[in-house]
Structure 1
Amino acid sequence: MKNTLKISAITFIFSIGVLAQEIVDETLNTQVDANIPGVVAQKEIDNLDDQAKKLYYEFKDTVSEYEGLKRYDDQLEKIVFSQEDEIRDIIRQIDSLDNVNKEILPFLKETVDSLRKFVNLDMPFLKESRIARIDDLDSIILQSNVTTAEKFRKVFEAYQLEAALVIPLKHTRIYRA
């Protein structure tokens, strides 16, 4: 009976060990199962944190880009205001030029007429070519496709030619019989 008691005690101890092992295994499995949602939740938290950081840096870059574009826009606005001032000034100058053109064309006509009188009263030196040049000036003044500046240049050039002819003749003695 002693043996049976020993065997029963050993069997009891062994079954308690097996039972304890099963309880430990079950506890570990329960712990692992409980950790799985925590791991999934942590991965989700990490993912959301990465997205939040990404959005933060995108926002920061967007704000920086906005500030740069705002400064650029402010500079362009100043340039546009400056150009508008220049346009107004140019329009005033054009209006002024219209008045000058209204006054300069009659002045050029009077100048050509004075030049014609001078040539008619001058000595008959190359008179035909000089009169032809003045006739050309009269026709140029009436042409609309010739700019006022070009008309003025042609009249001034004719005066210079006449002045160049007068100087050598001044120093020439004319003998009359």
Structure 2
Amino acid sequence: MKQLTKFPDTLKKVSAALITIFAATNSLAQEGKFLEPAVNKATEINQSAVKSQEKINKITDQIGDKLQQFKAINKETTGLDVYNGQLAKQIDNQMQEMADLNAAIDDVSVIERQITPLMMRMITGLEQFVSLDVPFLPKERAKRVEDLKNMMDRADIAPSEKFRRVMEAYQVEMDYGRTLEAYSGLHTIDGQERDVDFLRVGRTALIYQTRDASLQGSWNKKAGEWQALPSSYRTQVTKGLRMAKKQLAPDLLMLPVAMTD
């Protein structure tokens, strides 16, 4: 009986506990309904924060790229400033050169008027020199002077080219004074025209020898005429001719030299 008496009390306690649990559960459910909007709002805020952070990261990356571009452009601009400064100096120099060139062009006509009479005097002087010089290669040298005269009348040759040719003719005449030369030609001996070999030793001696080496003679500058040489010079003249023709090594020659006052 005592145990049966205790059972209702136990049942009451269990029932009370279940009621308490149910009440607590119901209370939690009610609180959950009230907290759900807050939780949802917090979730939205977190999602928005994530999106904002992504935007910030993207903007940061863009700023970094723009900064690198700015640095590169700034460096390129600095290089262009230096390059432009150098170009400005070159342009200034070119402008000065153009000014100098224009001034020189303006002076060309003046120079041409001055240099043409000079060349004419030089050609006349060269002609006189050839006529008074030792009479070697007379036709060749006379033709050179005549060609210069004809050249001066031509309008298709620039003054600079004319001057070059005049100076070239003077250079040829200068070279004659320090060279040894042999050439063939015709020479009148005792009223008879003979084939001879001429030997020119600078402007010091001009000698001829017949092909059979039987006769030889030299130009006497003082007398202004040809004079026969004794047969004792035959060997030396022959030797000199061979040396001039590169058939014999250079050696000492014993040749007559006319003395001039």
Using the TM superposition, give the Cα deviation of residue 126 of structure 1 relative to its aligned residue in structure 2, in angstroms: 4.9
In structure 2, relative to structure 1, the CA distance for the partners of 1:114 and 1:39 (3 Å cut) is same
Number of residue pairs matched by the alignment: 176
User: 2: distance between equivalents of 1:162 and 1:34?
Assistant: 109
Using the TM superposition, give the Cα deviation of residue 99 of structure 1 relative to its aligned residue in structure 2, in angstroms: 2.4
Q: Structure with the greater relative contact order (CA < 8 A, sep ≥ 6): 1 or 2?
A: 1
- SS at 2:22 equivalent: helix
Q: Compute the TM-score of the two structures, normalised by the length of structure 2.
A: 0.54
Q: Of residues 187, 198, 204 in structure 2, which corresponds to 1:168?
A: 204
User: 2: distance between equivalents of 1:34 and 1:149?
Assistant: 94
Structure 1 stretches of 5 or more lacking a match?
Answer: none
User: 1: distance between equivalents of 2:150 and 2:117?
Assistant: 14
Q: Of residues 13, 33, 43 in structure 2, which corresponds to 1:32?
A: 43
Using the TM superposition, give the Cα deviation of residue 136 of structure 1 relative to its aligned residue in structure 2, in angstroms: 0.8
- Do structure 1's residue 92 and structure 2's residue 128 form an aligned pair? no
User: 2: distance between equivalents of 1:159 and 1:117?
Assistant: 13
In structure 2, relative to structure 1, the CA distance for the partners of 1:119 and 1:12 (3 Å cut) is closer
In the alignment, what sits opposite 1:51? 62
Indicate the RMSD between aligned Cα atoms, in angstroms: 3.3
Whose strand proportion is higher, 1 or 2? 2
Report the structure number with the largest CA radius of gyration: 2
For 1:36, give the aligned amino acid: Q
User: 2: distance between equivalents of 1:126 and 1:15?
Assistant: 144
Using the TM superposition, give the Cα deviation of residue 8 of structure 1 relative to its aligned residue in structure 2, in angstroms: 2.3
In the alignment, what sits opposite 1:69? 80
In the alignment, what sits opposite 2:199? none
Using the TM superposition, give the Cα deviation of residue 56 of structure 1 relative to its aligned residue in structure 2, in angstroms: 2.8
Q: Compute the TM-score of the two structures, normalised by the length of structure 1.
A: 0.74
For 2:70, give the aligned amino acid: F
- Do structure 1's residue 131 and structure 2's residue 150 form an aligned pair? no
Offset from partner CA, 1:71-129 (integer Å, 9 cap, x none): 11011101110121122223333444442222111211222233334445667665444
- SS at 1:167 equivalent: coil
Structure 2 stretches of 5 or more lacking a match?
Answer: 1-7, 178-201, 207-217, 228-261
Query: Does the aligned pair in 1 maintain the 2:219–2:226 contact within 8 Å?
Result: no
In structure 2, relative to structure 1, the CA distance for the partners of 1:4 and 1:94 (3 Å cut) is same
Q: Of residues 169, 177, 182 in structure 2, which corresponds to 1:158?
A: 169
Query: Does the aligned pair in 1 maintain the 2:134–2:219 contact within 8 Å?
Result: no
Which stretch of the first structure deviates more once superposed, 72-81 or 46-55? 46-55
Whose helix proportion is higher, 1 or 2? 1
In structure 2, relative to structure 1, the CA distance for the partners of 1:152 and 1:47 (3 Å cut) is same
For 1:88, give the aligned amino acid: A
User: 2: distance between equivalents of 1:7 and 1:123?
Assistant: 156
For 2:27, give the aligned amino acid: I
Instruction: Kindly report structure 1 stretches of 4+ aligned residues shifted beyond 6 Å.
Output: none
Query: Does the aligned pair in 1 maintain the 2:126–2:170 contact within 8 Å?
Result: yes
User: 2: distance between equivalents of 1:102 and 1:112?
Assistant: 16
